[in-house]
Amino acid sequence: MHLNDKKDRADSDLFESINDEEMQELVRLAQEESMQKEAFEEESPVRRFPKWMFWIISVVFLFSTFSFVIQSYSIPTFEFLSASARLSADPEIQIVKKAVVTVAAGDSKGTGFSIASDGRILTNAHVVEGHEQVTVDFPDNGIFLADVEAVYEQSDLALLKVKGDGLPYLELADDPEFIEGDPVIFIGNPLRFHGIANKGAILGPTQLSGWDDEVIMMNAPVYRGNSGSPVIDHDGQVIGVVFAVMEHEVYGKVGLFVPIGLFQDTAPL
């Protein structure tokens, strides 16, 4: 006999052991229990909170929500959002932002930017690490599936390619100079925000351990998600790609970007 057969037979034996009178008694007891429960619910008054308690609860909830926002997004965060709003009012910045994309690779999200109308996109190697395909989202042109065409580990850069034509793109500067104090603009997707424009200033080159080439430091509010952001000079051309932050013994916390020449020398367009 199968196990299911044994179970069916046991259930059958249970019901067959109850006669008609016992079944009627069970039904009567169940009905009485149900009626008693309904009577108790009708007699129990509905408790209503006084208005003053409602307002206290509302204020506590709002305070808790505000505290959570402050903890998640500090005062400097609100400052860079305000700066972005001012910069984004510039028509030239609005044009540049059309070529800056969100790069999503699994749970990782970063920034990239189009460097040619045929769908070539530059970002950081660590943003797409371990992926052969990622998605990129243009502000005005929608979402594309992108192939990771090349990864340049030494400079933490990666070249992506989407199937598109006539896409907005940014021009790369030829042999740019990095002069201390020169202003720069960078656009990216920090802290789950999108298309945030911010400004900074060149501090100078630095040599990182394990790197063959120098990278450039800038005094700028760089946050998680800015990886892959284009750094743009006063001529509107890309001079570098944001990839990290570091604590400098003289300048404090600084943003780091890869000079665009490292990409041009490795993969000339």
pLDDT of 48: 55
CA angle 9, 10, 14 (to 5 degrees): 115
Sequence-distant (6+) residues with CB within 8 A of 153 are 125
> What pLDDT does residue 174 have?
92
- Residue 228 has a pLDDT of 97
Angle at 62 between CA 58 and CA 64, to 5 degrees: 115
81: CB partners within 8 A, 6+ apart: 193, 196
189 token code pair = 């997707």
Q: What local confidence, expressed as pLDDT, does residue 163 receive?
A: 92
* pLDDT score for 156: 95
In the prediction, which pLDDT does 192 show?
82
10-residue stretch averages of pLDDT, the chain, 269 residues long:
37 37 50 54 52 59 46 56 87 95 91 96 95 96 95 95 93 94 95 91 94 94 93 96 93 95 79
pTM: 0.71
The pLDDT value recorded for residue 217 is 97
DSSP 60-112: HHHHHHHHHHHHHS-HHHHHHHHHHHHHHTSHHHHHHHTTEEEEEETTEEEEE
The reported pLDDT for the residue numbered 266 is: 78
Q: What is the dihedral of CA 145, 160, 190, 247, to 10 degrees?
A: 150
- 254: region left, alpha or beta (phi > 0 left; psi from -120 to 50 alpha): beta
pLDDT of residue 52: 59
- Residues carrying an active site annotation: 126, 156, 227
